[in-house]
């Protein structure tokens, strides 16, 4: 696992729960003697109505609705027709800056595959939150030069909840190849070595086969998973953030690599007699402390309130790498956890400076 980058302090939180700074072009009026209230987004109105009807909602529920609601979620809504990524979007990720980033992850994959005995079949690539598909495209382009590894890959699985992003990924990875709907999601064929590409909304849809060797990538995925915030009485005003979904994903990664413990057996024995595969997690967060009060919104490359314009602002919180490590080890005695290390140090160790130099004119 690799913990990467540090973030500036989150913006100051407003007093109101749903921000109403922005307005729609048309008024949304209620039958009331009070002036009609204007909402920043349709999702803001929906959230306010839910709160008025059932009472307060958790931060985790708020994040989940803002990011993945089918009715105006940041990643799942196509109403605005805008791209979240790049200079014209809200943020730029490392794979979008340079091909070198994805190439180095491809080299990491080659090194892990070789260290584990150069399997000739049964290799799976899984990426959680693949964005535009740029990272996976660079990985597949890189390992195409290692024909034995490329031939061993049974399929690439992309865990993606957004139909719009799925279409973008398909175009980049598969070109004009047809896409068909299957039980677990959608399927097409990569233009790199004709490897099957399969999309699903949850990693649990991917069959957990002990005979397979999964290599899992999660780049800037965990920071967008919903969190719960708690106020410890020993530190008034501070919040401790817990992400049950992040720990669930870490445990799922571990079980696929190391297997699950066998009942009534030594603690080292699992359902996967020979653990294989690896997971690489790259995200924001401190290396040895618990994240505190880091929930933030990101809009047009600026930090904004996470309560601003629900559904039109990306939400992020620092990742607790220690909690992920504990969840992984608790889920499977067949895994080992390394790191976290800073992304810059990891890229240099993988030969990043040399690769950039080779590409420079």
What token pair was written down for 163? 């139909």
The span from the CA of 159 to the CA of 278, in Å, is 17
Provide the percentage of residues in the chain whose pLDDT is more than 90: 68
Taking only Cα atoms into account, the Rg of the chain, rounded to an integer number of angstroms, comes to 22
Mean pLDDT of 35-60: 89
pLDDT number for residue 206: 96
Q: Is 2-6+39-356 assigned to CATH 3.40.50.12710?
A: yes
Task: Read off the pLDDT of residues 302-349 as tens digits, 9 standing for 90 and up.
Answer: 999 999 999 999 999 999 999 999 999 999 989 999 999 999 999 999
pLDDT number for residue 287: 85
Question: Distance from first CA to last CA of the chain, Å, rounded?
Answer: 33
Q: Which residue has the tokens 């909402």?
A: 39
Q: Name the band, by pLDDT with cuts 50, 70 and 90, for residue 274.
A: confident
* 3 strand-pairing partners: 283
Provide the 8-state DSSP code for 323: H
pLDDT number for residue 3: 40
Residue 263 CA neighbour count, 13 Å, CB half:
0
Instruction: Identify each DSSP E strand in the chain by its residue range.
Output: 2-3, 123-128, 153-159, 180-182, 185-189, 196-200, 213-219, 228-230, 240-242, 278-283, 296-299, 302-304, 314-316
Q: Which residue has the tokens 């605005």?
A: 80
Q: Name the band, by pLDDT with cuts 50, 70 and 90, for residue 237.
A: low
Average pLDDT along the chain = 86
Mean pLDDT of 232-245: 64
């Amino acid at each position: 696992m690799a913990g990467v980058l540090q973030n500036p302090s989150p913006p100051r939180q407003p007093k109101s729960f749903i921000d109403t700074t922005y307005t729609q072009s048309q008024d949304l009026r209620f039958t009331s003697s009070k002036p009609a209230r204007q909402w920043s987004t349709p999702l803001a109105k929906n959230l306010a109505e839910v709160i008025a009807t059932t009472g307060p909602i958790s931060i985790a529920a708020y994040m989940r609705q803002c990011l993945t609601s089918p009715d105006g979620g940041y990643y799942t809504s196509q109403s605005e027709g805008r791209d979240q990524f790049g200079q014209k979007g809200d943020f730029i990720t490392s794979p979008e800056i340079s091909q070198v980033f994805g190439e180095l992850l491809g080299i990491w994959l080659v090194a892990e595959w070789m260290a584990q005995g150069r399997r000739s079949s049964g290799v799976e690539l899984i990426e959680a939150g693949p964005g535009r598909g740029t990272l996976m495209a660079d990985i597949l382009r890189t390992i195409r030069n290692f024909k034995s590894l490329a031939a061993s890959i049974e399929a690439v699985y992309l865990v993606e909840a957004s139909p719009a992003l799925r279409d973008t990924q398909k175009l980049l990875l598969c070109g004009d190849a047809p896409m068909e709907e299957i039980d677990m999601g959608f399927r097409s064929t990569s233009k790199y070595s004709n490897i099957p590409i399969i999309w699903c909304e949850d990693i649990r849809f991917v069959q957990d086969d002990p005979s397979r060797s999964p290599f899992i990538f999660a780049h800037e995925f965990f920071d967008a998973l919903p969190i719960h915030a708690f106020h410890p009485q020993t530190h008034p005003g501070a919040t401790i953030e817990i992400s049950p979904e992040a720990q669930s994903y870490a445990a799922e990664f571990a079980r696929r690599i190391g297997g699950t413990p066998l009942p009534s057996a030594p603690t080292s024995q699992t359902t996967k007699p020979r653990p294989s595969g690896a997971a690489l997690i790259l995200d924001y967060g401190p290396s040895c402390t618990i994240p505190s009060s880091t929930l933030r919104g990101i809009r047009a490359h600026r930090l904004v309130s996470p309560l601003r314009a629900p559904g039109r602002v990306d939400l992020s919180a620092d990742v607790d790498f220690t909690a992920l490590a504990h969840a992984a080890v608790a889920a499977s005695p067949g895994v080992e956890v390394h790191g976290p290390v800073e992304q810059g140090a990891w890229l240099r160790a993988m030969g990043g400076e040399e690769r950039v130099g080779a590409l420079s004119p």
